[in-house]
């Protein structure tokens, strides 16, 4: 009984210590000076004409390809489909105050962990629903395509697969921005194994979690709450499947779309599981491995980013609960 009481006390102490440490970090983060403004290029382009086009091209040269004549841009601005996009974006986003506040907090966190990153010039555009480039970061620019966040049931998205458009929602904007910066820090995957790819995604999600500590974990993965609950509840059987099938060191490229990339579901090729399993379960496992590695080793974020998959996995002591 005494030992049980001691363990309970030790657990409470660890929880309190961890909470106090996190609270102290957040107080430091709150002091970091960050100024965020959002330039509504989407609105400016909606009102473009022959008189102000040259001014718009001067202020946003990176949004105008030199191979197109001015007449092309003016024609696009007056196109009936473009005008409908403008109306729908304005209806959905009459105000971006909430996004400014969220970006302010996000970049405070990013600069706390990576002080060398500059706060970017933030610009909103429309992009003919280019959902493969919802968020683009380049040098000191952050470009957000508002027409890819109009709501999962918006009629613009009728021909797009359901698993993609479930994240075409306003709540996903900041998570996508955080993900873009996390991906940029992790860099390209240098190894071809399934494990290396899992851990690369795991690094991204670990950073994303640091950047967005108050955001629901389901949103970070682009999941519904039900999908996130499923991967949490089935973490051990997912891991056991990967081990039993000897997938970790496989270089079979088909494993990536099966378990790491967006899709209607993860493909275990087991009827009873495939009906319920969300996509990207390998990303979730990679996140847990990286989190376990950081918990059980005294290493910096820089060391994490430089560490290879084998080092991280072997030193992670990762073992999902049964």
* pLDDT surpasses 80 at 190: yes
* pLDDT cut 90: percent of the chain above it: 89
Name the burial class of residue 35, with classes exposed (0-12), middle (13-18) and buried (19+) by CB atoms within 10 angstroms of its CB: exposed
Residue 304 has a pLDDT of 98
Whole-Å CA distances, 234 to 127, 210, 311, 320: 38, 24, 25, 9
Residue 272 has a pLDDT of 79
Of residues 166 and 16, more confidence is placed in 166
Residue 118 has a pLDDT of 96
* pLDDT surpasses 60 at 321: yes
* pLDDT surpasses 60 at 11: no
Global confidence as pTM: 0.92
Residue 18 has a pLDDT of 54
Contact 304, 293 (CB under 8 A): yes
| Angle formed at CA 318 by CA 296 and CA 222, multiple of 5 degrees | 105
Residue 19 has a pLDDT of 61
Residue 264 has a pLDDT of 95
Residue 66 has a pLDDT of 93
Residue 220 has a pLDDT of 98
**pLDDT tens by residue, 251-282:** 999 999 999 999 999 999 998 788 899 999 99
**Helix H or strand E encompassing 40:** strand 38-40
Residue 40 has a pLDDT of 98
Residue 5 has a pLDDT of 56
Please name the residues in contact with 152: beta carbons below 8 A apart, sequence gap of 6 or more: 165, 166, 167, 168, 169
**pLDDT tens by residue, 111-160:** 999 999 999 999 999 999 999 999 999 989 999 999 999 999 999 999 99
Average of pLDDT values for 64-86? Answer: 97
* pLDDT surpasses 90 at 162: yes
**pLDDT tens by residue, 20-55:** 667 899 999 999 999 999 999 999 999 999 999 999
**pLDDT tens by residue, 97-116:** 999 999 999 999 999 999 99
In which residue are the tokens 């458009």 written?
A: 165
Question: CA 143 to CA 63: how far, in whole Å?
Answer: 10
Q: DSSP string covering 77-124, please?
A: HH-HHHHHHHHHHHHH-S--HHHHHHHHHHHHHHHHH-TTSPPPEEEE
Residue 22 has a pLDDT of 74
Residue 6 has a pLDDT of 53
Quick check: helix, strand or coil at residue 125? strand
* pLDDT surpasses 70 at 10: no
Residue 93 has a pLDDT of 98
Q: DSSP string covering 133-176, please?
A: GSEEEETTEEEEEGGG-S-TT-GGGTTS-HHHHTT-SGGGHHHH
């Amino acid at each position: 009984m005494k030992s049980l009481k001691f363990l309970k006390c030790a657990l409470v102490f660890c929880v309190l210590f961890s909470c106090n440490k996190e609270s102290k970090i957040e107080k430091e983060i709150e002091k970091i000076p960050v100024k965020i403004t959002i330039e509504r290029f989407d609105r400016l382009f909606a009102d473009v004409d022959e008189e102000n086009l040259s001014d718009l091209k001067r202020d946003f040269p990176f949004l105008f390809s030199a191979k197109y004549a001015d007449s092309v841009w003016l024609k696009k601005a007056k196109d009936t489909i473009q005008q409908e996009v403008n109306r729908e974006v304005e209806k959905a986003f009459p105000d971006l105050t909430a996004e400014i506040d969220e970006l302010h907090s996000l970049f405070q966190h990013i600069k706390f962990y990576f002080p060398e990153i500059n706060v970017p010039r933030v610009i909103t555009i429309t992009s003919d629903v280019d959902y493969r480039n919802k968020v683009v970061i380049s040098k000191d620019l952050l470009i957000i395509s508002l027409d890819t966040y109009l709501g999962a049931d918006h009629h613009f998205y009728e021909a797009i697969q359901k698993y993609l458009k479930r994240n075409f929602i306003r709540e996903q904007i900041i998570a996508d921005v955080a993900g873009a910066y996390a991906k940029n820090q992790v860099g390209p995957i240098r190894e071809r194994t399934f494990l290396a790819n899992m851990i690369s995604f795991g690094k991204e999600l670990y950073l994303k979690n640091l950047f967005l500590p108050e955001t629901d974990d389901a949103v970070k993965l682009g999941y519904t709450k039900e999908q996130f609950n499923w991967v949490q509840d089935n973490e051990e059987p997912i891991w056991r499947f990967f081990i039993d099938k000897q997938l970790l060191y496989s270089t079979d490229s088909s494993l990536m779309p099966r378990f790491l990339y967006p899709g209607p579901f993860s493909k275990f090729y087991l009827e009873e599981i495939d009906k319920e399993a969300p996509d990207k379960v390998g990303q979730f496992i990679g996140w847990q491995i990286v989190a376990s590695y950081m918990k059980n080793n005294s290493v910096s974020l820089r060391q994490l980013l430089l560490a290879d998959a084998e080092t991280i996995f072997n030193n992670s002591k990762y073992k999902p609960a049964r």
